[in-house]
Structure 1
Amino acid sequence: MSKNAKDSADDASDARGGAQGGLIVHVTGLLPSLSPAEQRVARLVTADPAAAARQTITELASAAGTSEATVIRFCRSVGMAGYPQLRIRLAAEAARRVEPPDARVVGGDIPPGADMAQIVATIAFNDARAVEETADQLDVRACEEAVAALASAGRIDVFGVGASGFVAADFQQKLHRIGRTAYYWPDTHTALTSAALLGKGDVAFGISHSGATTDCVDVLAEARERGATTIGLTNFPRSAIADVADLVLTTAARETTYRSGATASRLAQLTVVDCLFVGVAARNRGRTRRNLESTAAAVKSRRTTRGGRRRG
């Protein structure tokens, strides 16, 4: 997809107000791009859409510690024509939301004094919701374009640092097992020098939850300058990585108390990665099957039986 086409698609998504994946997911993804006052409004409506839908514009502005004009700006920033449309969308969102099975799980967060049962219920609910909401809002057309680029690439370089690096390593290993020439570079200097050797027909795939990690953004920028197709996977579609990516794929995970870099965001990323991997693998089922069988056979002798003996 060309840069102009991607910008048009982004504008169309904003105009729809995130209809594909739900308003709350849409607003959460745009949160870093909003002004501080608009962010206060955003946090109120995402925390309790039903309560926000019942409030007048004056009541919501007061609760957010801001003005009615800021609420109107927030509405436009997230693709709404005005406050009435926002209230309608919030009411619809509240009606379709699935409540957690444990009544003590509130907003997916972990309150002070939570016991282990509540912690387990909260984390399980939050992780499951991240996967479901990621699938709901994932741009299928962008995924198809990413699969086409990956399947035809002469070489694939995968980048990610910190917790996203684990997902990058997993993706590289998956691609390598089905015979794709793929590399993962955990060191930024090595990643940059590798990106400098990419060219037309190659793919650089960058993973960054925030979309603002300079290591990942700089590597994609270098690869794009060399003519490679660049793909970014992030939770925030208006983040810096979108400026250097030809294709942007998004997750829908919300990090909560104690859980910056949480498993929920990794699970959301892995969901997208698995979709792409299966899409690439399905392009040549015969070759994929043969490669998976060969690689499985190569490590079969490294497994032991229950008695501790190696399998023959």
Structure 2
Amino acid sequence: MLDQNGPTPVNLVATVRAILPSLTPAAQGIARLILDDPALVARSTITEFSAAAGTSEATIVRTARALGFAGYSQLRFALAGAVARQAPERLVPGDLGPDDPLTDVIAKVARAESEALADTAAQLNPDRLGLVVEAVAGARRVDVYGIGASGLVAGDMAQKLMRIGLPGHSFTDAHLALTSAALVRAGDVAVGVSCTGETPDVLAPMGVARKAGATTVAITNNPRSALAELADHVLVSAGRETAFRPGALASRISQLLIVDCIFVGVAQRTFETSEAALRATRDALGDFLADTRRRGR
């Protein structure tokens, strides 16, 4: 759910990008214009913007409200703040083209990753994160569901929790995920990871886990997605995928930032047991590597 006062200038563009898939076709066209040239929108009256967009003023007002603003004036003011605070290239990260030289590829990919981290941090609500940390720290078990690139994030979260002695399990197979979800109960936590928030193989076990009484958490780019509807707590990531970068690092790294924040928060809440668990696992791995090196001599 968006803040009733609308997104802040810092995370406005990230918010527009996140909810774009859930907008109507007409509103999506307006949102893309905002993403393509926020400075143009910021300096345009609603009549000027209506002419540039080729749509009615009423549609523009409805889009502004869908983005969390009372009207176009508030949207325009927020965009002006965003433009003033950030360089134009920061607001519109260039998509990769088929003829881009590798120097441009490096620059654009690196910028996309750094912006994904900054945008995710800007819109990550500490209070909401705290509720997730509290639920995970006190959980009997934690299931994490993710498919494809998001499955890598699910595995990372489960591995991190295991290192501090919490029973975390990741599932990238829908059948196994459903089997596990059917056995959760109140006090357990189920985490669904999906960039779009519409992945059927994640939605199905999340729905089962919710019915079984688990606390449900969504890590997604789209706060208005079906996954978000199934979640008690929604943590919004800000990475975006493009034609040349499906499952892009920017999407994964923004999700991984959220996972790391959850992990550190849980480790803080359970410091004594977490520290002992980290020391024990570190020692076990160290002993194994030392034995391996000795046998290799």
When residues 90 and 272 of structure 1 are mapped into structure 2, their CA distance, relative to the original with a 3 A threshold, is same
Equivalence for 2:81: 92
Give SS of 1:127's match: helix
Match of 2:67 among 58, 78, 97: 78
Match of 1:135 among 121, 127, 144: 121
Q: Percent identity?
A: 46
Give SS of 1:159's match: strand
Q: Which runs of 5+ in 2 are unaligned?
A: none
Matches of 1:149 and 1:283, distance apart in 2: 11
For residue 217 of structure 1, report the CA deviation from its aligned partner: 1.2
Matches of 1:147 and 1:84, distance apart in 2: 38
For residue 109 of structure 1, report the CA deviation from its aligned partner: 1.4
For residue 67 of structure 1, report the CA deviation from its aligned partner: 1.9
Q: Tell whether the 8 Å contact from 1:108 to 1:125 is kept in structure 2 after alignment.
A: no
Equivalence for 1:250: 236
Q: Tell whether the 8 Å contact from 2:37 to 2:92 is kept in structure 1 after alignment.
A: no
When residues 246 and 106 of structure 1 are mapped into structure 2, their CA distance, relative to the original with a 3 A threshold, is closer
Matches of 2:238 and 2:58, distance apart in 1: 28
When residues 121 and 309 of structure 1 are mapped into structure 2, their CA distance, relative to the original with a 3 A threshold, is farther
Equivalence for 2:12: 23
Matches of 2:44 and 2:295, distance apart in 1: 66
For residue 214 of structure 1, report the CA deviation from its aligned partner: 1.2
Question: Where do 4+ consecutive residues of structure 1 move more than 6 Å?
Answer: none
Matches of 1:66 and 1:20, distance apart in 2: 25
Equivalence for 2:141: 155
Matches of 2:9 and 2:150, distance apart in 1: 25
Q: Residues 24-72 of structure 1, C-alpha deviation per residue, up to 9 Å, x if partnerless?
A: 1221122112110110100111222112212232332333332222111
Equivalence for 1:49: 38
1:285 aligns with 2:274: no
Match of 2:158 among 172, 176, 189: 172
Equivalence for 1:218: 204
Q: Tell whether the 8 Å contact from 1:20 to 1:136 is kept in structure 2 after alignment.
A: no
Equivalence for 1:194: 180
Give SS of 2:94's match: coil
For residue 20 of structure 1, report the CA deviation from its aligned partner: 7.7
Q: Aligned residue pairs: how many?
A: 296
Give SS of 2:192's match: strand
What is the alpha-carbon root mean square deviation over aligned residues?
2.1
Matches of 2:207 and 2:181, distance apart in 1: 9
Give SS of 1:157's match: strand
Q: Tell whether the 8 Å contact from 1:303 to 1:310 is kept in structure 2 after alignment.
A: no
Equivalence for 1:5: none
Matches of 2:166 and 2:68, distance apart in 1: 40
Matches of 2:10 and 2:206, distance apart in 1: 27
Counterpart amino acid of residue 55 in structure 1: S
Counterpart amino acid of residue 227 in structure 1: G
For residue 21 of structure 1, report the CA deviation from its aligned partner: 4.8
Matches of 2:296 and 2:39, distance apart in 1: 58
Counterpart amino acid of residue 292 in structure 1: L
Matches of 2:211 and 2:9, distance apart in 1: 32
When residues 30 and 106 of structure 1 are mapped into structure 2, their CA distance, relative to the original with a 3 A threshold, is closer
Counterpart amino acid of residue 81 in structure 1: A
Counterpart amino acid of residue 58 in structure 1: T
